[in-house]
């Protein structure tokens, strides 16, 4: 979704759905699409057999879309995570580095990239990782 550079400034919000017995989460991705605010909303259902695996299903018209995603790495303090997701009709499979802070220090990013490179399954996706532009920041 971020590869063309038209979509910038993403923010991810995951919140437990109160009273949900399946422990699902509301999933909201906000971003700018060519400078205009946009969002994708869905629901993440955890896999009872694998705590790192979730199935995302869109809300509204996006209900027709679903994707599996995994938390494949995370910081011990949960300040960042690497998520891997399967393709949908609208997006290819991919990998994102997400963080609680707007930016991560270059040394932290270098450590994450090194960990990805050391993983035989994830290594192939490393070349596809690109920094996402932030409004008002140089690319």
Q: Rounded CA gap, 60 and 52, in Å?
A: 26
pLDDT digits (tens, 9 = 90+) for 23-39: 999 999 999 998 899 99
Residue 6 pLDDT > 70 = yes
First to last CA, the chain: 16
Q: Rounded CA gap, 99 and 30, in Å?
A: 14
Q: Rounded CA gap, 104 and 110, in Å?
A: 10
Q: What is the pLDDT of residue 138?
A: 41
pLDDT digits (tens, 9 = 90+) for 71-125: 999 999 999 999 999 887 777 888 889 999 888 899 999 999 999 999 998 988 8
SS3 5: coil
Q: Which residue has the higher pLDDT, 7 or 47?
A: 47
Q: Which residues contact 124 (CB under 8 A, 6 or more apart)?
A: none
Q: What is the pLDDT of residue 135?
A: 58
Q: Rounded CA gap, 107 and 104, in Å?
A: 8
């Amino acid at each position: 979704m971020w590869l063309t550079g038209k979509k910038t400034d993403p923010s991810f919000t995951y919140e437990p759905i109160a009273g949900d017995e399946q422990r699902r989460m509301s999933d909201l991705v906000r971003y700018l699409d060519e400078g205009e605010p946009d969002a994708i909303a869905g629901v993440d259902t955890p896999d009872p057999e694998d705590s790192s695996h979730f199935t995302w299903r869109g809300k509204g018209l996006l209900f027709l879309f679903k994707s599996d995603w995994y938390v494949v790495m995370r910081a011990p303090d949960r300040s960042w995570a690497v998520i891997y997701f399967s393709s949908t009709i609208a997006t290819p499979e991919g990998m994102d580095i997400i963080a609680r802070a707007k930016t991560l220090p270059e040394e932290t990013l270098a450590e994450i990239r090194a960990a990805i490179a050391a993983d035989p399954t994830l290594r192939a996706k490393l070349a596809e990782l690109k920094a996402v532009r932030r409004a008002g920041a140089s690319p």
